Structure 1
Amino acid sequence: MIATQLQYQVTQDRIKQFYNSLSALQGSASSWLRDLQVRDIRDKIAELESALEQYDSLTTGDIKYIVVERLADLPNALIKARLLAGLSQRELARQTRQSLLKIQQWERDGYSRVSVDVIRSIAATLPIELRGWARTDVDPPSRPALKTLLARAGLPKEVYDDVIVPAGFEGIARDDEIDRRLERLFGLGVAQFANGAGFDAVPLRFKLPANAEQSRTRAYASYVEGVCSIIATTQPSVTGELPKHWSEMRRLLFPDGVISLATAVRQCWSVGIGVIGLRDKVAFHGACRRVDGRATIILKPSSRHSSRWLFSLIHEIFHIISEDGDFTLIEGDETSRDRREAPNERRANRFAAMVLTNGALADAFTMVSRRSGGRVTNLTAAVRAAADFYRIPVGILANLVAEDVQSSGRANWWGSAEKLQPIEENSWKIVRDVFIESFDRRFLNSTEAAVLYQLLETRDE
């Protein structure tokens, strides 16, 4: 920005030079290179003229004072406020008992090497209204202190390290970005947490596990709510009318008849259901939410295999089609008794099973029981035979049988079911790639885009 009258005059001279260059170019023969140069010069002229207008508005009394809410905005605000006060750099130096050389250097460098205390002391002499962390009587907590505050409030360590304060965040600007991320996800900034605020209880339609730690549950529920609200911002349209019968849902999710996680997720996006996968290790299995007509699903199965991800996806779809109005549901661990025995969870599980087996669930189970002779040791061969006969992906049927065996108390057959899963691409990456090709990023602000980037970032696994 323009900080002195001399810079103002230099800027005017540069604009005249650019206009002369523009006139010369416009008189030459048209070419792609000439057109590119013309656009570049016009952009530079517009930028310089905007700087002149800003300087004029600050020096003509149109603005009364400068409002600053974030520390990162203070350096430019100091220059604006000095101009607004009608002070030269020399007069500001005298007023703040600093040397003229220091003021000139600080403004030239954007106050990048000046302590926050000195910046605040200069601000106190100028027409600046300080708010939030820019206030002179408030100091933000250090990174370790903030992490401790959020942990005490229940925020899982993984969320803090991976999303709120990822590696490489340094400096005042990053502190402000942390504040913005907290405000966007939880509706609370650093100041509120420093003053003892906790995470609001998200109104859940369904009951979480009875043994869930309350503070951690509230914190993660608030996090899920925030993530879902960002995803809803990227959805181009409200969720359409969804079929309620399993056969119609199967045709919607797999129009070519081939069971595919990528196809199912794309079909969800096509009807206005945003889908994303999370990879934190917090003991929750997934979530779904509908607010203002926009539905969102978060998948977080413990397995990499698409059979489990598909089952979870359709399970959450059932909740969306069976509930009216706005709601938020966070699933407990997929093997928890509370979840397995809840009536609506059973209905959701059966709906998903019918979609994935094309209605052959009971017949397939009958064949597995008959061929295995009731012996767990014979289940692998029996599952293979039934899957082949009824044209059910063997990994899907294996998981359904493992769940049935565990529910009946006979044994834990999940290890054997795991061995029947096909070798395939990481399911989280499949869901991530469909998200990237489907979401509408035009309505995201920089903070929302940064949060999504952290959630979608590829890691070596």
Structure 2
Amino acid sequence: MIKNERQYRVTQAQAKKFEEALAQFEGNLDKRQEVHPLLWTAQRDALQSQLNELREEIEEYEALKSGQHTVLELESLEELPLALIKARIAAGLSQKDLAVRLGMKEQQIQRYEDTEYASASFTRLIEVSQALGIKVREDVFLPNAQVSLNTLFGRLKQVGIERDFVIKRLLPQSLLGNLQADDISEDQTGSIALRASAIVNRIFGLAPATIFSSSPLQLNTASLATVRFKVSKGTDEHRLSVYTLYAHFLALLVLDATFNLPKKPIPTNPNEVREAILSTYGSLTFKHALHYLWSLGVPVLPLNDSSAFHGAFWRVEGRNVIVLKQQTKSAARWLFDLFHEQWHAAQEPELEERIVVEDSETNDERWKSKEELTANRFSGHIILAGRAEELVELCQKEAKGSIERLKNIVPLVAARENVSVASLANYMAFRLSLQSENWWGAATNLQTEDTDYTDPWQTARDFLLERANFGRLNEVDRNLLLQALSDI
């Protein structure tokens, strides 16, 4: 957002340059004929989008200065940093004016606003709020003695929200930088704890007043009431619930950011799926499968955190989103999982809401479900051209019943039958799991050749980054989604 007159003038100049660039781009008919229509449209839309964002910032700043917008009362802390800046502008105060009220230097206010008060202490946030006349509910700013990072992490751990998860996925980078500073004060850590609690509240529905009290904490898992968990009995239920709520929150953000995707029926015939991909894209790869799912209106959210759950799909108000979460870089494994989740997404299309959350491949409980078996056979049929079961039989026949020999036989059969050894190994591991044989380690070793090129997680992440409209999300949500898509 625009924070002062200098930035206002700079943004006006930038907007004028984009207006001129857009007019020149649209008027260059010779250049337009040389470029593919889709590429030309994408380039024009990119210019228009940037121009629109600049215009919106200008309009917001002008509206604040004119007194059209006022900041009256805050219900939570998460929007406080931007609210402080907007309140100053709406009050007709310059950064220098606010500094005078607080007995500070103008440069300090500039630094605070440049970082959206990330470096401000707990006490300073209250002082700025009071100087601007912002009314904040009493339970938003809690007594300072109760607010600390140790209290925050200790309380959250009771419901399965671990410290590392909060730092890695929830804390904005600006706050994280301050947290790692050597000279951070106790008051500043209190401010960080309060800001972090506001983000936790946004995702998990745990209000700061509740977190920093002595009353028992309990996650609200109502949104998971219809989840069809395909997980083992030994799964940590707290951790599973926490990560599922987090992934559900992100899935909703993805659906919002991809609101304009077409909504098409999802085929359940594996031959139809395979033929559609081959005829449209020329080959059956993970990237082409992503193209195909997105063309059906199904966005794919890739996550790379360890454990909790393995993969999931959500249907919300009739729209589907697939979540893939693998630690391996094998494109064959990611491709298999993608079609597996497609099968789930295609089931019971008459239902407006549907969820499936799944554990890893090594979980025996997962394969006792008829839907899981069908989803895996659906995936194998597509990838191995309808020959999945035939190829398994060939491998088992040539191995003469020896599971140990399969690690040598599978590559030989794959080469002879002209199929991917990584994909055949993946399907063989699934089939052996039906006999309570864990062959996933051997399959992973045979998939090393499949990891020499692009990282499947990065491929799916880039797809999402290119196609999502992050401008539809508020700043807090946008940062949370982008952090989930970071490779830290």
Q: TM-score, normalising length from structure 2?
A: 0.70
Map residues 269-280 of structure 1 onto 2, 5 A cutoff: 269-280=294-305
2:87 and 2:60 map into 1 onto residues whose CA distance is 21
Partner secondary structure for residue 160 of structure 2: coil
* Alpha-carbon spacing, 1:107–1:209, altered in 2? closer, same or farther (3 Å): same
2:120 and 2:301 map into 1 onto residues whose CA distance is 43
Partner secondary structure for residue 299 of structure 2: strand
Contact 1:204–1:330 under 8 Å retained in 2: no
Q: Which residue of 1 aligns with 2:40?
A: none
2:377 and 2:445 map into 1 onto residues whose CA distance is 23
Map residues 323-338 of structure 1 onto 2, 5 A cutoff: 323-324=348-349, 325=351, 326-338=353-365
Report the alpha carbon displacement of residue 211 of structure 1 after superposing the two structures with TM.
2.4
Q: Which residue of 2 aligns with 1:441?
A: 470
Give the counterpart letter for 1:347 in structure 2.
Answer: T
* Alpha-carbon spacing, 1:110–1:267, altered in 2? closer, same or farther (3 Å): same
Q: 2:208 aligns with which of 182, 187, 190?
A: 190
> How big is each residue's C-alpha offset from its partner over 1:418-445, in whole Å with a ceiling of 9 and x where there is no partner?
3322242322112112222222223122
Contact 2:74–2:135 under 8 Å retained in 1: yes
Q: Which residue of 1 aligns with 2:66?
A: 53
* Alpha-carbon spacing, 1:209–1:156, altered in 2? closer, same or farther (3 Å): farther
Q: Name the stretch that deviates more: 192-201 or 349-358.
A: 192-201
Give the counterpart letter for 1:308 in structure 2.
Answer: R
Does 2:420 align with 1:393? yes
Give the counterpart letter for 2:204 in structure 1.
Answer: F
Q: Which residue of 2 aligns with 1:378?
A: 405
Report the alpha carbon displacement of residue 312 of structure 1 after superposing the two structures with TM.
0.9
Partner secondary structure for residue 105 of structure 1: coil
Map residues 128-147 of structure 1 onto 2, 5 A cutoff: 128-131=134-137, 134-135=140-141, 141-147=147-153
> How big is each residue's C-alpha offset from its partner over 1:394-433, in whole Å with a ceiling of 9 and x where there is no partner?
1111121123234324x54334323322242322112112
Q: Which residue of 2 aligns with 1:27?
A: none
* Alpha-carbon spacing, 1:80–1:446, altered in 2? closer, same or farther (3 Å): closer
Contact 1:406–1:413 under 8 Å retained in 2: yes
Partner secondary structure for residue 363 of structure 1: helix
Q: Which residue of 1 aligns with 2:272?
A: 248
1:288 and 1:345 map into 2 onto residues whose CA distance is 13
1:399 and 1:242 map into 2 onto residues whose CA distance is 24
Q: Name the stretch that deviates more: 377-386 or 102-111.
A: 102-111
Q: Which residue of 1 aligns with 2:249?
A: 226
* Alpha-carbon spacing, 1:132–1:345, altered in 2? closer, same or farther (3 Å): farther
1:223 and 1:356 map into 2 onto residues whose CA distance is 31
Q: Which residue of 1 aligns with 2:338?
A: 313
1:327 and 1:427 map into 2 onto residues whose CA distance is 26
Report the alpha carbon displacement of residue 147 of structure 1 after superposing the two structures with TM.
2.0
> How big is each residue's C-alpha offset from its partner over 1:334-381, in whole Å with a ceiling of 9 and x where there is no partner?
211110212211111111111111111222122212222222343244
> How big is each residue's C-alpha offset from its partner over 1:138-187, in whole Å with a ceiling of 9 and x where there is no partner?
77732232222222111244431221125551468866753553344334
Q: 1:357 aligns with which of 384, 402, 426?
A: 384
Q: Which residue of 2 aligns with 1:153?
A: 159
2:84 and 2:263 map into 1 onto residues whose CA distance is 45
Q: CA RMSD in A?
A: 4.1
Aligned residue pairs total 406
Contact 1:200–1:222 under 8 Å retained in 2: no
Q: Which residue of 1 aligns with 2:328?
A: 303
Q: Which residue of 2 aligns with 1:282?
A: 307
Partner secondary structure for residue 244 of structure 1: coil
Report the alpha carbon displacement of residue 386 of structure 1 after superposing the two structures with TM.
3.0
Q: Which residue of 2 aligns with 1:419?
A: 445
2:262 and 2:206 map into 1 onto residues whose CA distance is 27
* Alpha-carbon spacing, 1:102–1:252, altered in 2? closer, same or farther (3 Å): same
Map residues 45-194 of structure 1 onto 2, 5 A cutoff: 53-54=66-67, 66-69=72-75, 70=77, 72=81, 103-105=102-104, 109-110=108-109, 116-117=122-123, 120=126, 128-131=134-137, 134-135=140-141, 141-165=147-171, 168-169=174-175, 170=178, 178-194=196-212
Report the alpha carbon displacement of residue 228 of structure 1 after superposing the two structures with TM.
0.8
Contact 2:152–2:193 under 8 Å retained in 1: no
Partner secondary structure for residue 104 of structure 2: helix
* Alpha-carbon spacing, 1:80–1:372, altered in 2? closer, same or farther (3 Å): closer
Contact 1:276–1:298 under 8 Å retained in 2: yes
Report the alpha carbon displacement of residue 273 of structure 1 after superposing the two structures with TM.
0.9
Give the counterpart letter for 2:340 in structure 1.
Answer: H
Q: Which runs of 5+ in 2 are unaligned?
A: 14-19, 22-50, 113-118, 179-187
1:386 and 1:114 map into 2 onto residues whose CA distance is 64
Partner secondary structure for residue 321 of structure 2: strand
Partner secondary structure for residue 161 of structure 1: helix
Q: Which runs of 5+ in 1 are unaligned?
A: 1-10, 23-30, 33-38, 93-99
Q: TM-score, normalising length from structure 1?
A: 0.74
Which structure has the larger Rg over C-alpha atoms? 1
Q: 2:219 aligns with which of 194, 199, 202?
A: 199
* Alpha-carbon spacing, 1:269–1:335, altered in 2? closer, same or farther (3 Å): same
* Alpha-carbon spacing, 1:127–1:269, altered in 2? closer, same or farther (3 Å): same
1:323 and 1:158 map into 2 onto residues whose CA distance is 38
Overall identity of the aligned pairs, in %: 24
Q: Name the stretch that deviates more: 286-295 or 367-376.
A: 367-376
Q: Name the stretch that deviates more: 103-112 or 283-292.
A: 103-112
Q: Name the stretch that deviates more: 312-321 or 249-258.
A: 249-258
Report the alpha carbon displacement of residue 226 of structure 1 after superposing the two structures with TM.
0.6
* Alpha-carbon spacing, 1:205–1:102, altered in 2? closer, same or farther (3 Å): closer
Q: Name the stretch that deviates more: 233-242 or 105-114.
A: 105-114
